[in-house]
């Protein structure tokens, strides 16, 4: 069920239950305190940047398995879910309350518009999106002026794991934002439907090549650090442009990946501006 089917949950009586991270972020950005939320992927039970806004919100368990019993008890006016995560239980959710299912959890612009419409805050959603678009355009212009003939820079977003490295591509959350800023991708990373490339061996290091790297700070575990050091010690690492030019920047994993919301999109812009223009 899409936004048009959920419009009876108006701003007059808000008990919104959010079943994925980006929806929680967006509902808060629209000035509504969610009545119930799923647990965050890290910094549990909720991301630190949202903790004050979510005081008193009912916990619903994991995003992958939200508690239907708690939802029934809550009697929400609107449930916001993800078709990717919750298609199997969508008929059950719809029996509990009007249900808005988003197709792409990382498309915060569509999420903002549809959630805004469903809770009667379309005008605010439009204003917030317009302000974000203006900020993105201004930052893009400043980046182009700063780097001149070198612009657009190519970019890679890397996530070091215990036994592999993930490169987030054009259709990932951060990739969509960086694309709007004008960053380019090397041919091996291009493709408008590609979200992530899993790099399982050091021989794949050249796939990451770009003018600038943003490295997600997911974990300080010993194994993750060993993976990072192994890549950095490999002869192929020194052939990559970003390490050669000193343009490798650690960034917050919550803002750049896990939260997937409107507020964190501004945090991505903050980071790009901080490391490349100040």
Q: Which two tokens stand for residue 180?
A: 């709007």
Q: CA dist 19 to 26, 99, 127, 237, Å?
A: 12, 11, 25, 40
**199-218 mean pLDDT:** 93
pLDDT of residue 13: 58
pLDDT of residue 218: 76
Residue intervals of the chain classified under CATH 3.40.50.1980 are 3-126, 148-277
Residue that the structure tokens 């380019």 belong to? 184
pLDDT of residue 9: 47
Report the alpha-carbon angle 141-145-150, nearest 5.
Answer: 110
pLDDT of residue 194: 85
The CATH number of 148-277, from 2.30.110.10, 3.30.1490.100, 3.40.50.1980, 3.40.50.10190, is: 3.40.50.1980
* Residue-wise pLDDT tens digits, 55-107: 999 999 999 999 999 999 999 999 999 999 999 999 999 999 999 999 988 89
Q: CATH classification of 3-126 is 3.40.50.1980, yes or no?
A: yes
Confidence of residue 163 (pLDDT cuts 50, 70, 90): confident
Residue that the structure tokens 């770009």 belong to? 210
Q: Which two tokens stand for residue 205?
A: 């290091």
pTM metric for this prediction:
0.92
CA distance 25 to 33: 10
* Residue-wise pLDDT tens digits, 6-58: 544 444 458 999 999 999 999 999 999 999 999 999 999 999 999 999 999 99
Lowest-confidence segment of 189-203, 241-255, 263-277 by average pLDDT = 189-203
Residue that the structure tokens 């949950």 belong to? 9
Residue 133 has pLDDT above 70, yes or no: yes
pLDDT of residue 56: 96
Q: Which two tokens stand for residue 56?
A: 């008193």
**109-132 mean pLDDT:** 97
């Amino acid at each position: 069920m899409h936004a048009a089917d959920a419009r009876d949950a108006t701003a007059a009586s808000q008990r919104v239950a959010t079943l994925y991270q980006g929806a929680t972020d967006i509902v808060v950005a629209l000035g509504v305190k969610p009545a119930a939320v799923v647990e965050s992927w890290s910094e549990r039970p909720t991301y630190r940047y949202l903790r004050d806004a979510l005081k008193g919100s009912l916990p619903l368990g994991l995003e992958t398995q939200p508690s239907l019993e708690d939802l029934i008890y809550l009697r929400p006016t609107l449930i916001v879910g993800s078709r990717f995560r919750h298609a199997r239980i969508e008929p059950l959710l719809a029996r509990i309350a009007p249900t808005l299912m988003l197709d792409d959890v990382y498309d915060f612009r569509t999420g903002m518009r549809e959630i805004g419409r469903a809770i009667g805050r379309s005008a605010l959603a439009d204003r917030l999106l317009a302000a974000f678009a203006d900020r993105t355009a201004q930052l893009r212009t400043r980046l182009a002026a700063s780097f001149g003939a070198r612009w657009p820079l190519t970019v890679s977003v890397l996530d070091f794991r215990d036994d592999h490295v993930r490169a987030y591509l054009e259709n990932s959350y951060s990739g969509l934002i960086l694309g709007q800023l004008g960053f380019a991708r090397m041919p091996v990373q291009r493709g408008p439907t590609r979200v992530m490339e899993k790099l399982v061996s050091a021989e794949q290091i050249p796939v990451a090549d770009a003018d600038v790297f943003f490295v997600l700070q997911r974990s300080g575990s010993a194994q993750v650090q060993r993976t990072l050091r192994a890549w950095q010690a490999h002869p192929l690492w020194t052939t990559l442009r970003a390490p050669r030019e000193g343009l490798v920047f650690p960034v917050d994993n919550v803002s750049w990946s896990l939260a997937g919301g409107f507020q964190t999109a501004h945090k991505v812009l903050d980071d790009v501006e901080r490391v490349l223009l100040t």
